Amino acid sequence: SQTIHQWPATLVQPVGSPLSLECTVEGTSNPNLYWYRQAAGRGLQLLFYSVGIGQISSEVPQNLSASRPQDRQFILSSKKLLLSDSSFYLCAWTGGVHTEAFFGQGTRLTVV
Amino acid sequence: DQQVKQNSPSLSVQEGRISILNCDYTNSMFDYFLWYKKYPAEGPTFLISISSIKDKNEDGRFTVFLNKSAKHLSLHIVPSQPGDSAVYFCAASGKNGANSKLTFGKGITLSVRP
């Protein structure tokens, strides 16, 4: 069966520090991978979307970047965190069009 | 531009009664629709989906209705239970290109009173 792992679950980082959140999927190949952010009262905002290795679509301009070094690995990064980057970050995968997305457990990032 | 809209931020219903959660979309290329349930500090979990070739899909206490001409869908929960209290997200996608990614609404907070 397919599983998705996202870590860490919580993270407290100082302003200006780098960020690396990792997401891996098991039990499937060539998944579509997503990074979402849930800010209070703003629902699920799509940040990045990837249909294959090295293929990243950015949905909103921001202080973050994403990479997909391997088929089932998706990484969310920042070189210098801002206070406004504090949020709940979610990784998800789908098997293709017209399939449901499966989410990781999320990472609560607090920038102090 | 919000392509998937959940205009009511919250809903409160009595246990045992029906909960009706509404969702509207603007992109006519969307042809697959989903509902997710989310508890605090957890990832959303998939509830039910519907393809645009149907107007109704039922799974236990959950039924999703789709009105393509109105670009509107709704989730009915009958009977509502206290454990249904959560945030519910509507999502949509299409077949091709940029439309194939899942787009979510802002969510509705459902409270079921015992």
pLDDT the model gives residue A93? 94
Task: Scan residues 2-21 of B and list those with Cβ closer than 8 Å to A.
Answer: 6, 9
* Mean pLDDT, chain A, integer: 91
pLDDT the model gives residue A76? 96
Answer for the pair A73, A23: CB distance below 8 angstroms, yes or no. Answer: yes
pLDDT the model gives residue B80? 98
pLDDT the model gives residue A95? 87
B40: Cβ contacts below 8 Å, ≥ 6 apart: none
Enumerate residue ranges in chain B where pLDDT < 70. Answer: 1
The model's pLDDT over A77-87, given as tens digits with 9 standing for 90+, comes to: 999 999 999 99
Confidence of residue A41 (pLDDT cuts 50, 70, 90): low
**B43/A105 CB distance under 8 A:** yes
Task: Scan residues 33-72 of A and list those with Cβ closer than 8 Å to B.
Answer: 34, 36, 41-44, 46, 49, 57
Residue A92 touches chain B, beta carbons under 8 Å: yes
> Running DSSP on this structure, what letter comes out for residue B35?
E
**A46/B103 CB distance under 8 A:** yes
pLDDT the model gives residue B24? 97
DSSP B71-101: TEEEEEESS--GGG-EEEEEEEE-SSGGGGS
What tokens appear for B18 in the block?
């029906």
For the segment A42-46, the average pLDDT, to the nearest whole number, is: 84
The model's pLDDT over A97-112, given as tens digits with 9 standing for 90+, comes to: 778 899 999 999 999 9
Confidence of residue A32 (pLDDT cuts 50, 70, 90): very high
- Checking if the pLDDT of A62 tops 90, the result is no
- HSE-up of B108 (CA within 13 Å, CB side)? 26
pLDDT the model gives residue B58? 97
